[in-house]
A = this chain, B = another copy of it.
Amino acid sequence: MALADPVRRDLLRRLAAGPARVADLAAPHPISRPAISKHLRILTEVGLTAAQDHGRERHYRLLPGGLAPIADLIDELSPRPPFAESALDGLDLEVRRTVREHVGEQTPRTSPHATEETA
C-alpha cells in the first residue's frame, strides 16, 4: 500500500496544504532526492498525486480522489448498521465461556502473543 511508508504519508500531508515543488517536498526529509522522486512516482502511480511541469521545476499536488479506496476499506471494516450477526456471534462466545467457567480451568499454552483476555 502506498500509505504504508511514513515518508510518503509525510509527503501527502505536505501536499494537503497545497502544491509544492520536488525540492520543497524533499527539504524536510533526511533522505536523498532520488529517494523522494521514487516516493512521488509511487504516489502518482496509485493516483494519490499528480504533477505539472513549470519550466524546470515540477509541481506535485494531491488528488483527493485517490483516497477513496482506503476510505472505502475503513468503513467496510466498521460494522455499524448490521452488527446483528456480530451480536449473535458474541452471544455464542458468551454461552461457551459461561459453560467452561463451571468446570474450572486456567489457560497457559506456549506464551501466546498478546492474548490479553483469557476468558
Contacts and interface: CB of A to CB of B under 8 A. Distances in A.
Interface string A95-119: 0110010000001010011111111
A23 interface: no
B54 A119 contact: yes
A27 interface: no
Q: How many copies does the complex hold?
A: 2
A9 interface: yes
Nearest to A41: B113
Contacts of A70: 3, 70, 74
Interface range, A side: 35 or more
A25 interface: no
Given A41-B114, A53-B109, A67 B59 contact: no
A58 to B, nearest CB: 7
A54 B88 CA distance: 17
9 contacts: A3-B73, A45-B113, A51-B112, A52-B115, A52-B118, A53-B107, A54-B97, A54-B119, A58-B112
